[in-house]
Amino acid sequence: MSTVTARRSSDLLRQIVVLSAVTFMLIAAMVGVGLFGGTAVQDLQGGALDSDASYLAPASSAFSIWSVIYIGLIAYAIWQALPGQRTNDRQRALGWLVAVTAVLNGVWLVVAQYATLPLTVVAIVALLVALAITFRRAVSTRSRGDGAIDAILLDGVTGLHLGWVTVATVANTAALLTQSGPESWASAADVLGVVVLIVVGAIGLGIAFASTWRVTPSLAIGWGVFWLGIGRLGGEPSSTVIGVTAMVVAALVVVVPIIVAGLRLIRPSTD
């Protein structure tokens, strides 16, 4: 087999694997919402993953962002399978990585459904690492000529996925610590919650800076932290200080990258 033929076979395999990975993720998601006899995520692990399970759990409305992420991944899977994308250099650089993130997304739901809470933390950290690598690769391979669809379905969707999973990792870890830690930890919940939120804000701004101020990770982080604040201000467990801190962090994480990105767009026209 010639090198060219082998490369084309690898390209076709990549397209099939991406479609298969996203399909697996969607099936796992349907199980995760209680279809096919599965238990809904909020009822798994003794309710540890519900929106009122810890001080760092976002309100239930926050999870609607999954619909946007899933629609984006479905659109990407279909788009990358088109013949015109088969030999695209960015698809070669990112397709396999996107497939890994889709599989790990589904794996988390399977682990949450059938394994233990500590293993869900391991699974979501693995997903977070894979998304960070994928987003970094997306930023480093991006060029002006790649087009709007490419920007939305690769950089945009991956950025949203990364941002939301950053918040979800915090919530998942907090759920584990809440369930397994001593009751005395509750007395320090406000202080710890504020510290964690400040760290999340720093991570969000760090991702924006490292990606030359891409805004999609910041939008997802801001969305999750905003609803975390709503949960603490209007739900249980209640914490005014965590709720207010979350609102401030959410605003900073979203507004700062938008302003900087806007200035970067304006500056070339004024030179």
Domain limits of the chain? 3-265
Distance CA 66, CA 198 (A): 24
pLDDT for residue 98 is more than 80: yes
Give the pLDDT of residue 1: 54
- SS3 labels along 102-123: HHHHHHHHHHHHHCCHHHHHHH
pLDDT for residue 144 is more than 80: no
| Residue 114, Ramachandran bin (φ over 0: left; ψ between -120 and 50: alpha; else beta) | alpha
- Place 270 in a pLDDT band, splitting at 50, 70 and 90: very low
Neighbours of 96 (CB within 10 A): 16
Distance CA 164, CA 118 (A): 20
Taking residues 152-165, what's their average pLDDT?
Answer: 96
Q: Where are the alpha helices (DSSP H) in the chain?
A: 3-32, 65-80, 89-114, 117-141, 148-150, 157-180, 189-210, 216-234, 240-270
Distance separating the N- and C-terminal Cα atoms of the chain: 53
Give the pLDDT of residue 271: 41
Cβ neighbours for 56, distance < 8 A, ≥ 6 positions apart: 170, 171, 174, 193, 196, 197, 228, 242
| Structural tokens at position 14 | 């990549």
pLDDT in tens, 116-139: 999 999 999 999 999 999 999 999
pLDDT for residue 269 is more than 60: no
Beta carbons of 125 and 119 less than 8 angstroms apart = no
Lowest-confidence segment of 159-168, 169-178, 248-257 by average pLDDT: 169-178
Q: What is the DSSP string of 151-207?
A: IIIIIIHHHHHHHHHHHHHHHHHHHHHHHHS-GGGGGGHHHHHHHHHHHHHHHHHHH
Q: What is the mean pLDDT of the chain?
A: 91
The fraction of the chain above a pLDDT of 90, given in percent, is: 73
Give the pLDDT of residue 48: 82
pLDDT in tens, 206-223: 999 999 999 999 999 999
Handedness of CA 233, 238, 241, 247 (dihedral sign): negative
| Structural tokens at position 89 | 């250099």
Give the pLDDT of residue 139: 93
- pTM for the model stands at 0.93
Taking residues 51-56, what's their average pLDDT?
Answer: 89
Question: Residue 238, SS3?
Answer: coil
Lowest-confidence segment of 42-51, 61-70, 190-199 by average pLDDT: 42-51
pLDDT in tens, 189-208: 899 999 999 999 999 999 99
Give the pLDDT of residue 142: 84
pLDDT in tens, 5-43: 667 789 999 999 999 999 999 999 888 777 777 677 877
pLDDT for residue 82 is more than 90: yes
pLDDT for residue 73 is more than 80: yes
Distance CA 166, CA 235 (A): 22
Give the pLDDT of residue 143: 79
Taking residues 96-102, what's their average pLDDT?
Answer: 98
